[in-house]
Amino acid sequence: MMEATDPQPVMTFLGRLGEALAHFGLALGPAGSAALALCVGFALGIVHFGSLWWNVRLYAGGGALKAFAVQVARFALLVAVFVALARLGALALVAGALGLVAARALLVRRLGRAPSEDAP
């Protein structure tokens, strides 16, 4: 059985990451922060949807507790980054969301669909 760990260091890291992103983006101006947000959203999408692919395999393999922990971490990172992007403004938030969706499209195309058992 897994031991419970203290989530405080992870939350502190995510908070500091969000603050650093917001400060850096504000120094770039609206166009620069939108470009930064697009790149950050794309990288976040690769991590988020890539870990979803891995997470599904954990659930299927019977590792429900580990899969649940990964799921919580995925969403905590997603929320922390999008809160930081929201602090940069609406343009940065939309650009980050576009980057996230673009990464999803890339991963779906690259990893493909799982084979169906009833497919001919």
User: What's the pLDDT score for residue 1?
Assistant: 42
Residue 117 clears pLDDT 90, i.e. is over it: no
Give the residue from 98, 84, 94 showing the smallest Cα distance to 43: 98
Residue of 76, 61, 58, 75 lying closest to 8 (CA atoms)? 76
Got the DSSP string for 39-100?
HHHHHHHHHHHHHHHHHHHHHHTT-HHHHHHHHHHHHHHHHHHHHHHHHH-HHHHHHHHHHH
Q: What is the pLDDT of residues 49-101, one digit of tens each?
A: 888 888 888 888 888 888 888 888 889 999 989 988 888 889 999 999 999 99
- Element of type H or E holding 101: helix 90-111
Residue 18: predicted pLDDT? 65
- 46: tokens are 């690769």
